[in-house]
């Protein structure tokens, strides 16, 4: 089968002929129709996670997809050939920039019936990240206040909608050009970072979802009420994450040191910081599917590229210009814009 692979870190990707994945008893073989393109793909390509995720090379990139079941393992009960599905495969089984992928049944869900393959492929990574940050980690409740940074980004566009569904008051940061977009997604308070600093106008927030890290993370600690939490997905990784992945003593020490200053500042302010590296979950995707089909969540697809232009799609994501998600698809010829928010479910 065809796949986009890297032979070494910090190098370009190339098309290669690789074997079709073999199935374990609990696996499902899926023919990929469309795949989401994420900043994580570029970070993995550049080796930023090689200590945490020690992949073998050559490596097929790609972290979420939608497609059709081709074959199911002997112990699979939920899926059969012909089913339309989508998923974020487990972190050690990535490879969605390919013709086929083998996925654990536990990580797979039926594709939302209201979505095209392209729109569905845009969701697993960002929707699971938003769910795990707001529902699992922050336990967001009705009436609370949440700040979602980078509201026009892939995670932000879904997190705004999910937070509103959960009954929160939602603030977000974005650029001038995207103010109307995030308001249309449900943001109650919009801070145009080109005009003012969010830390100067926001106060007493219960939760901050931060996909940016760095200075934004440090400033986010100041806008929380006592007892509030920042959930960061750009780092620094913390000791809890090290324990979660069974890291070596060296990595545990390194993560402790990396997060020490942020953790200390958080404690001094009576708040907390938690690092999130999203996990695959078919069960959570089924919850998300229900919200999509009910009209609660709608994907935002900026642009769809043909599968053959995967490298170009990745470069576009790295440019930082995308609103929502970028997708590669076998069903298009030549790059084309996505359908925006209102029509993203009926491309």
Same domain for 260 and 328, yes or no, is no
- Four-residue CA torsion sign, 32, 37, 41, 45: positive
Two structure tokens written together for 57: 């090379």
Together in a domain, 138 and 224: yes
CA distance 214 to 76: 43
Any idea what the CATH number is for the domain that residue 144 is in? 3.40.50.720
Residue-level pLDDT at 340: 40
Say whether both 78 and 109 belong to one domain: yes
Rounded Cα distance between 229 and 273, Å, is 6
pLDDT score of 50: 87
Residue 286 lies in a domain: no
- The conformation of residue 165, written as its DSSP 8-state character, comes to H
Q: Which two tokens stand for residue 49?
A: 């996670």
Domains contained in the chain, number: 2
- Per-residue confidence in pLDDT tens, the chain, 347 aa: 999 999 999 999 999 999 999 999 999 999 999 999 999 999 999 999 888 888 999 999 999 999 999 999 999 999 999 999 999 999 999 999 999 999 999 999 999 999 999 999 999 999 999 999 999 999 999 999 999 999 999 999 999 999 999 999 999 999 999 999 999 999 999 999 999 999 999 999 999 999 999 999 999 999 999 999 999 999 899 888 888 888 888 889 999 998 999 999 999 999 999 999 999 999 999 999 999 999 999 999 999 999 999 999 999 999 988 999 999 999 866 656 664 433 333 22
Q: 160 with 78, same domain?
A: no
Please give the pLDDT value at position 334.
Answer: 60
CA distance 83 to 37: 23
Looking at the structure, do residues 208 and 139 belong to the same domain, yes or no? Answer: yes
Q: In terms of domains, do 240 and 98 share one? A: no
Please give the residue range of the domain that contains residue 53: 2-123+299-346
CA distances (Å), 246 to each of 35, 51, 239, 271, in order?
29, 12, 10, 26
Claim to verify: residue 208 and residue 268 sit in the same structural domain? yes
Tell me, yes or no, whether 268 and 309 share the same domain.
no
């Amino acid at each position: 089968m065809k796949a986009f692979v890297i032979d070494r870190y910090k190098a370009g990707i190339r098309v290669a002929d690789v074997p079709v994945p073999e199935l374990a008893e609990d696996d499902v073989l899926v023919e990929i129709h469309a795949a989401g393109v994420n900043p994580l793909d570029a970070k993995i390509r550049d080796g930023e996670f090689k200590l945490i995720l020690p992949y073998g090379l050559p490596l097929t990139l790609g972290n979420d997809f939608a497609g059709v079941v081709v074959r199911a393992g002997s112990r699979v009960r939920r899926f059969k050939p012909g089913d339309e599905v989508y998923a974020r495969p487990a972190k050690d089984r990535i490879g969605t920039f390919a013709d086929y992928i083998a996925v654990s049944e536990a990580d797979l869900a039926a594709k939302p019936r209201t979505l095209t393959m392209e729109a569905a492929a845009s969701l697993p990574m960002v929707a699971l990240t938003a769910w795990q940050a707001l529902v699992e980690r922050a336990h967001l409740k009705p009436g609370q206040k949440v700040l979602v940074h980078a509201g026009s980004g892939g995670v932000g566009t879904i997190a705004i909608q999910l937070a509103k569904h959960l009954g929160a008051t939602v603030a977000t940061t974005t650029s001038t050009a995207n103010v109307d977009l995030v308001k249309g997604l449900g943001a109650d308070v919009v801070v145009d970072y080109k005009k003012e600093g969010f830390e100067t106008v926001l106060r007493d927030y219960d939760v901050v979802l931060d996909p940016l890290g760095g200075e934004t993370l440090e400033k986010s600690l100041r806008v929380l009420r006592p007892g509030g939490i920042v959930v960061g997905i750009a780092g620094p990784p913390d000791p809890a994450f090290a324990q979660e992945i069974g890291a070596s003593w060296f990595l545990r020490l390194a993560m402790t040191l990396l997060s020490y200053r942020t953790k200390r500042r958080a404690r001094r302010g009576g708040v907390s910081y938690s690092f999130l590296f999203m996990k695959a979950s078919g069960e959570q995707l089924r919850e998300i599917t229900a919200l999509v089909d009910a009209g609660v969540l709608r994907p935002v697809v900026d642009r769809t590229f043909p599968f053959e232009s995967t490298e170009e799609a990745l470069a576009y994501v790295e440019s930082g210009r995308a609103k929502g998600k970028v997708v590669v698809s076998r069903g298009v010829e030549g790059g084309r814009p996505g359908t925006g928010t209102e029509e993203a479910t009926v491309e």
